[in-house]
Structure 1
């Protein structure tokens, strides 16, 4: 059964195609991950990183199926098993520590930003208050005064304040 699946995968996705595509995607994901780590071009890079990451997972699984015999032979070696186990353990530690340090409400910061007066948001985002009000106006939010909050304006406009904050945070660099 396993050999039939292996044979079918190799027929549908030849190794001469899958291996370079998987390698290229790994390179792009690595570069975009580094860019995200250093907060460079976060808006477009984040989206590309996420979508190409999903594509990478698909191609990586096909690559593993295409090379199943070689991979199983490789993992007969103790070094390979130990390396894989180490990576899994370190990943688990990172994910576990992140879960422990999470606040009870992941939208805590977003909620605080929604409830902050526009004048304070301008200071926090290091942008001109008039530019911030203009940007919010383009998004359908009418700001009556600098003491008004996103939450109030969003409610009046019938939009989700959390969504407005997400959009605003992702585009604040343009306002500077």
Structure 2
């Protein structure tokens, strides 16, 4: 394929992938069709990175002018400062998912099993039927270590009846 065609192809893909990433990003921001857009946004975002690299590679001669431009450099600094601002402003806040996971994983199974089952007795029976040894007073994390499995596997077993 001729270099001119490669440039056109890389530019076309860059343009259309940018549009899809932008639209799915907006949909995600407003929580519209979240179940459908998140995975598409993430996977096509990775494809977008690869295509942009090809775009830069095939258009290197003209891109060098942009890279040496003061406005390009200033824009990079501004975007970096804004991104760091977002990262630093949320770094002190605990991640709610992590707090929930830690609570569920580290509390005794007698307390946390009620999240997945009608009672501790039923939860214990379900786990033991799947070959998971359960000891009173142990957390899901401790049971996972004891049974040489993942805490997520234990939760998955407990959650099977709820599907």
Q: Do both share a fold (TM > 0.5)?
A: yes
**CA separation of 1:90 and 1:155: change in aligned 2, threshold 3 A:** farther
5+ residue gaps, structure 1: 1-9, 119-140, 172-176
Matches within 5 A, 1:134-145: 143=117, 145=118
2:53 corresponds to which of 42, 48, 61: 61
Q: What's the CA shift for 1:43?
A: 1.9
Equivalent in 18, 38, 53 of residue 26 of structure 1: 18
Q: 2:60, 2:78 → 1: CA distance?
A: 21
User: Rg: which structure is higher?
Assistant: 2
Give the TM-score normalised by structure 2. 0.62
Over residues 49-101 of structure 1, what are the superposed CA-to-partner deviations in whole Å (9 max), with x where a residue is unaligned? 11111111110111111222222212333222211211122112212333333
TM-score w.r.t. the length of structure 1 is 0.58
Task: Answer yes or no: is the 8 Å Cα contact 1:154–1:160 preserved in 2.
Answer: no
Query: How many matched pairs?
Result: 132
Find runs of 4+ consecutive structure 1 residues off by over 4 angstroms: 10-13, 111-114, 151-158, 162-165
